[in-house]
Every structure is written in C-alpha cells, then in structure tokens.
Amino acid sequence: MNDETFSLQPFSSNESLPNLKIAGNIARSANQLTITYALLGNLEEVIIVTQPELPTRKHQLWENTCFEFFLGIKDSEQYWEFNLSPTENWNVYHFDRYRKGMQEEVAFTTLPFSVHNQSDSLALALNIDLDQIVTPNQALEIAIAAVIKLRDGEVTYWALTHQGTEADFHRRDSFLFTL
C-alpha cells in the first residue's frame, strides 16, 4: 500500500484568512483509492452548504466549499478531476490534456463518500475502486486541493502547492504525489 499525509496551503491572499487548516491522507492499495480530508478551525467563517435531498452528480461544485483531487497517469497528459461537496454532491471530469477535452467521466454513476460536520471540524472520506478508469499497475500522479468559500464572500483556494501566479489546480507540476 502506498499512502501519503497532506496539509493544504492557501493561495496567497491580501485578505486575512480565518484560522483554518486542511489536512488528510491519501492511500492506494492495488486499485482501491482512499482519501480523507479534515477541515479544522473557525468554521463559523466558512459557508458549508447542507442539503436534505439525495446526493447527486452536479456541475460547478467548485463555486462553493468543495474538496478536490486530480489523478493523472504518469507519462500521460490525460487526467481526472474529482469534486466532492459537503452536500455529498459530486462529479468526476476527464481531461485529454491540460484544461482540454473536459467531459463528465461516465464510468462513475455514483461516488459514495461520507461527510461529518461538527462545530469545529468537517471530515470527508472517500473509498473508490479505480478499475473503471486505470489499471492497478499504472502509476498515478496526484494533486489535492480544496475551495473554501467564506461568509464574507471571499473564495479561497488551497492546494499541496501553488506553482503559478494564479490558483490553478490543473497544473501538472502540482501533482506532487505518485501512488
């Protein structure tokens, strides 16, 4: 089993961010991928939308608080973007290369994950079989990110690293983990 712990960093901002921390773990055993996120701190400052309806595939989840990860096949330009919302809505997109050929990944019809929301923490966990998109022997390059929307309307961008002058989770030089 390959696994990595992570701590996300906010993209530089002139605004003072509330006392927040985003950490977690990602692991791959054969072709089973497990990722957990923990958002800790002053969550009263964060917009965390909850919804009573059944979780479903939705677009533009990144416009609100959303946890993301990107899987790229090593030595290939193609990659997938996974979006996980605290509402338990989700989506997966496939890209042919950097920001090109975006389409919903139809290999996934559900993306079951758990969300636990408390006053000072939000935990999210996903366990997924990747057999539908990659083989177990393919090395994966991984980027982990989050979009956190604050009550004052500011949207903050968090990632393992920020390589450019603008927040851009799709840059392959930010796919830091290999599993």
125-175 per-position pLDDT tens digit: 999 999 999 999 999 999 999 999 999 888 999 999 999 899 999 999 999
Closest to 143 (Cα-Cα) out of 114, 112, 168, 109: 168
| Distance from the Cα of residue 90 to its chain's centroid | 10
Rounded Cα–Cα distance for residues 93 and 105 (Å): 5
* H or E element, residue 117: strand 113-118
The neighbouring-strand residues paired with 118 are 121
pTM for this structure? 0.95
- How do 20-29 and 32-41 pair as beta strands? antiparallel
Query: What pLDDT sits at residue 15?
Result: 57
Q: Which domains does the chain have, with CATH numbers?
A: 2-178 (2.60.40.1190)
